[in-house]
Structure 1
């Protein structure tokens, strides 16, 4: 397994500006620092880019400040097993602007599909926020929406933030840090993971729709495959990344190589697990 140090990379990232987006109208604050063996984030959870309209018919919640204080290791170490995060188990990571990554939802359906709710997670079939048309979670163009406590959070590619960072197809863009301390990049990586002179390509996740649909699943004629998390299965080698949407390779910030994650346009969009020691 691999390990490394992220000390010296974006250890002084600081942002404190008023966001005049109609649904925000608050100051966005994020302060990253490195001390000893720890990377610390103190933030208020307010995005630094334009957002969609909140509340909206699919998401009745209003963006508000949420106290963010997290510490990640500066010496992440990759392990043999993956740790699933999200929801009550904690954020899988934070974007540099202090907005959390939480790709799963609290929506679910029972086996019949007749009883579904976007909150509570009481059913067996867990609804995806993105990539399906049966349920409306009110996500905006940043693939984000708002939790009942006012926490704006990302389910997928944070387009507004990527644009602020100047991210495009000509460079790799570091957008945040995962809970295990490894970096997160947006969309593009080197076509040869070990060669920084190779061309950039859009990374793809290694998940495919299941071939054998469970007899307990709500009808696919009502809810198309891809509606539920259980509709997807990891197929090693079918994409560019592992089960946690990561891989080992060189990056602009880590020319000697490091394990790192990606936000992707394909499922799972953001990692649902981490491969580093927590």
Structure 2
């Protein structure tokens, strides 16, 4: 008798059922077989050679800054490395301000990001203690969430205590003021200026507009981040550019423990939003696979969007050694 060990390869994870026919040379028997296939890491991309020598050092005359902004990116054989002082290179709003009592100060920014990101099917949440979502080319970090929260029913709310079950968003509502400026950024208690949304001043300095895709940052998993505009057809660089939208919508089933809607409008809390596949252009991490000016053969990439979540809250690439995301936020509740 000859024994055979058949193999089965699947392109997608899932459960497959099929018939197997076996013959002993005389009789033929058939049986149904069920196989469960799993997948892990998928695409590996190289970003080597793209913005590997980005360097900036200029005095920022903004009244809230009045010091030099420095940012240097270099590439080794395997990593993209950043050394910066965290000072923005563009005009900023007034800090301290009524809702944000913190003063911008120089930081020691050092980051090492892979040049060969691996896209997986697993979304890893970043922000807060899990580390920033990425860094804009000017060396300023992306930290899209906040340290603010409310307890059930809104009995207690704080801009610097994230122990409550309702996490307050920095943007997209008027219920709670974190003192963000025109760049959708503000300052943490240790003086760290950071972005919660579209870094308008930096985009302007880069010449970003509706006629081009503008690379503005690198995510912590190594994939690029673009600002606002992308191709209508993600696979066709000759297609028209459009404003890319996230795929999050307000939840329809509002918990009765949520703080009152007449005080905290929908969109105030992270829990007010849910990912609805196909409702926008992007996946749950504000990313998609497609062509870009820097990657004409296609790559997974993220977008900063004018719609929630503004910057990605999770990444699809593998992350090693995520660092601390900085101290809690501060802000003012509704009066």
Per the shorter chain, which TM-score range? over 0.9
Shift of 1:221: 2.1
The aligned residue for residue 119 of structure 1 is 160
1:229-248 alignment, distance < 5 Å: 229-248=270-289
1:36-185 alignment, distance < 5 Å: 36-185=77-226
The one-character-per-residue Cα deviations of 1:223-274 (angstroms, maximum 9, x if unpaired) are: 1110100000000110000000000000000000000000000000000010
The aligned residue for residue 238 of structure 2 is 197
SS at 2:102's partner residue?
coil
Structure 2 residue ranges without an equivalent (≥5)? 1-41, 320-335
The one-character-per-residue Cα deviations of 1:136-181 (angstroms, maximum 9, x if unpaired) are: 1000000000000100000000000000000000000000100000
Does residue 217 of structure 1 match 2:253?
no
Does residue 3 of structure 1 match 2:50?
no
Shift of 1:26: 0.8
Give the total of aligned pairs: 278
Structural RMSD (CA)? 0.6
SS at 1:112's partner residue?
helix
The one-character-per-residue Cα deviations of 1:198-223 (angstroms, maximum 9, x if unpaired) are: 00000000000000001211121221
Structure 1 residue ranges without an equivalent (≥5)? none
Distance in 1, matches of 2:135 and 2:59, equals 20
TM-score (norm 1): 0.99
Structure exhibiting the larger radius of gyration computed from Cα positions: 2
Distance in 1, matches of 2:263 and 2:63, equals 36
Shift of 1:114: 2.7
TM-score (norm 2): 0.82
Distance in 1, matches of 2:86 and 2:191, equals 9
Distance in 2, matches of 1:170 and 1:204, equals 17
